[in-house]
Amino acid sequence: MINFESREELQTFISREKDKGLSIGFVPTMGALHAGHLSLIQAAKDTCDLVVCSVFVNPTQFNKAEDLEKYPRNEKRDKELLEKAGCHVLFLPSVQTIYPDGTDHFEVPDVGHMAQVYEGEFRPGHFDGMMQVVSLLLDMVNPSHMFMGLKDFQQFAICKKMVEIQGRTVEVCGMPTFRETNGLAMSSRNERLSAEAKKEAKIIYETLDWVKQHLLDYDNSVLAELGERQLKNFPGLILEYFDIVDKTSLRHTNNKENLIALCAARIEGVRLIDNMIL
């Protein structure tokens, strides 16, 4: 695996490989890697000739300074995992490399309603910062495919819309959520949970799964309320939202097709998000 910290060196290398006719698969991450991230590397290897992974904890997408400060970082382990997974290129830029002219020069694409609800509502500015960094990384890497996790469903949907608005040719591929054996969605933030909290957090998956099993037994709004109540009543868990919406528009519907259940909750001060396609 080749490591780059400089944008120029990365771009020189990539354009040389592209001139040879190689396709580039890109996996953007914030590090503290786990099996979910590595599944994206594998998907990129299965589809493209050359896999580029970036590890960059992007300050502009954190709406709380404390969350940025506490975000887990483990560069040495990330490198080992990526090497083992057969990643070809690791891009490890500094904040200065990504934002040489500061962070104010980004015209945020208007993706509409989907950036205003749920994560957009509870983390003001988060999606603007996320689009900013993904946009800059796409300029630098210029891949044919970008691989993202469906765990961050809104992020995936917004990136798909953003590349369409920007007229990019990159294909944005959404990959299934990797889970712990108890159902808890893998996340870098899980590192901050105690063993006890990790056990309890499985209630999120159980509730999503219960909703899926009972999809045809209730109206969508009733089902969403039942899921919400179950999580609100769970000791130690602070629910931010639980809802069932159309997965394309992220709006409420009475239809039983194309639905997704979305959820965010905090346990031990750690914010966890999850979803399930129904």
| Min separation Cβ 158 and ligand AMP, Å | 12
| Min separation Cβ 104 and ligand AMP, Å | 23
DSSP annotation of 177: P
C-beta of 72 vs 226, nearer to ligand AMP: 72
C-beta of 151 vs 160, nearer to ligand AMP: 151
Q: Is 76 exposed, middle or buried (0-12, 13-18, 19+ CB in 10 A)?
A: exposed
C-beta of 138 vs 186, nearer to ligand AMP: 186
| Min separation Cβ 109 and ligand AMP, Å | 18
CA distance 10 to 140: 8
Q: Which residues are the active-site residues?
A: 37
Q: Which residues of this protein are in contact with ligand AMP, per CB under 6 A?
A: 29-30, 36-37, 39-40, 148-149, 151-152, 175, 177-178, 185-188
| Min separation Cβ 175 and ligand AMP, Å | 6
The radius of gyration of the chain's CA atoms, rounded to the nearest angstrom, is: 19
C-beta of 117 vs 173, nearer to ligand AMP: 173
Straight-line distance from the first to the last Cα atom of the chain, in angstroms, rounded to the nearest whole number: 39
Q: Report the candidate in 276, 249, 251, 252 with the shortest Cα–Cα distance to residue 262.
A: 276
Phi, psi angle pair for 93, to nearest 5° = -80, 160
Phi, psi angle pair for 109, to nearest 5° = -65, 140
